[in-house]
Amino acid sequence: MSNNPTGNNKHRWRFFRSGGFDQVALETADDLRNLADLDPKLWTALNCPTTGLEFDARTLALLDTDGDGQIRVPEILGAVRWTCQMLKDPQVLFDGAELALDSIDDSHPEGVTLKAAAARVLEYLGKYESGRIGVADFADMTRLFSPDHPNGDGVAPAELTDDAALQTVIGEIVATQGGVPDRSGEPGISAETLAAFFEQATALLTWRKEAADSAEAIMPLGAATAAAAEALTAVETKLDDYFARCRLAAFDARAAEALNPPATVYGALGERPIAAEDADVAALPLAAIAAGRPLPLGEGVNPAWTSRLARFQDAVVKPLLGARESLTPEDWAAVSAKLVAYRAWHEAQPESSVRDLDPAYLAKIAGDDTCDRLAALIALDLEADTSAAKIDAV
């Protein structure tokens, strides 16, 4: 049946009955042009979800301009109005599943841009000669973009440049900062990951330079300083405990007996097998406690600590104090003081995912124009005519 329930004499609507109520039939370009004048009370529905429908999900998402998961009347009207502006004759929408590029109205700038973007899509798909495009052509968006061409998403994969050095750096950024998916499907770098990489590199290089500038204080044993600090840390708590006990025994002679393990401890140990570095044995003092007694570095040492004390003696005591058979509190204070600067510097090492990269390589790319060239590559990609917005418009 035909009717004009809105009172608009310029357009007459045709209705059909389905599901127990009348529905408007959208069959012509004029129906689309006049849809805004149709009384919403005569619409079949005033909103619908963007999921769970037998309709292209990507198209539904594009119609949902506010991203709330629902498509409402104003969004439908906006899409219809824009579509009518982009086509020479909207009637072509009723003629088949594909749209001829010549149907796009290129008499205005937006139409020119849209037609060029559609032609680029067909070129990527190898369908340029057909001159027709359809929804199915967008099923796999990665086919529409080649990683070696700018695509407007601000992500630069390694293939976007033929400079081998820049390709290497892009690979390092992806490996350390995580790859950002390019519209081609390949991982690449963004302005954010580029900035993070070089910020971390600069912080790490500055930290390393501090050690080079103050080598005498921070690296008293040169390349062996790190191993010395590790060896000292491994026994530090136990050495502090030993000398504290001896000082307490010197304060009061009665304390010495209480500060040494009672015989019952050894009785309990004697009733079971004892491993080389038994936890119960390791919990005992490093050596017998006595007022003013230096720590023996050979005989008389807690057997659970023998290997760690041997490493401490070889890596720390001998290089800093010379060979000796025991360690006084003054000796302990002296070797600890020698490594204070290194340990503070090491503790200040910046958190960085680039720390495993070759220092010389890192210094080179941080000191030349690599960062600027990569930023320019990302900017070039952002300026591409095949931007995401233009593809979405198609």
Residues 75-116: tens digit of each pLDDT: 888 989 998 898 888 888 888 778 888 888 899 888 888 888
pLDDT(7) > 80: no
pLDDT-based confidence at residue 394 (cuts at 50, 70, 90): confident
pLDDT(357) > 90: yes
pLDDT-based confidence at residue 388 (cuts at 50, 70, 90): low
Which pLDDT score, from 0 to 100, does residue 41 have? Answer: 83
Which pLDDT score, from 0 to 100, does residue 142 have? Answer: 65
Q: What is the pLDDT of residues 327-345, one digit of tens each?
A: 999 999 999 999 999 999 9
pLDDT-based confidence at residue 64 (cuts at 50, 70, 90): confident
Mean pLDDT of 300-324: 95
Q: Which residues fall within 8 angstroms of residue 212, CB to CB, at 6 or more apart? A: none
Mean pLDDT of 194-210: 96
Mean pLDDT of 137-143: 69
- C-alpha atoms less than 13 angstroms from C-alpha of 321 in its C-beta half-sphere: 23
Q: Give the residue among 365, 379, 359, 363 at the shortest CA–CA distance from 171.
A: 365
pLDDT-based confidence at residue 15 (cuts at 50, 70, 90): confident
Which pLDDT score, from 0 to 100, does residue 3 have? Answer: 57
**Dihedral angle sign, alpha carbons of residues 156, 158, 161, 165:** positive
pLDDT-based confidence at residue 10 (cuts at 50, 70, 90): confident
What is the model's pTM? 0.63
pLDDT(8) > 70: no
Output the CA angle 335-339-344, nearest 5 degrees: 150
pLDDT-based confidence at residue 302 (cuts at 50, 70, 90): very high
Share of the chain above pLDDT 90, in %: 49
- CA terminus-to-terminus distance, the chain: 35
pLDDT-based confidence at residue 305 (cuts at 50, 70, 90): very high
Q: Give the Cα separation of 160 and 145 in Å (integer).
A: 11
Better pLDDT: 151 or 140: 151
**Number of helices (H) and strands (E), helices first, in the chain?**
18, 12
pLDDT(387) > 70: no
Tokens 């849209």 correspond to 114
Average pLDDT, the chain: 88
Largest interatomic CA distance in the chain: 115
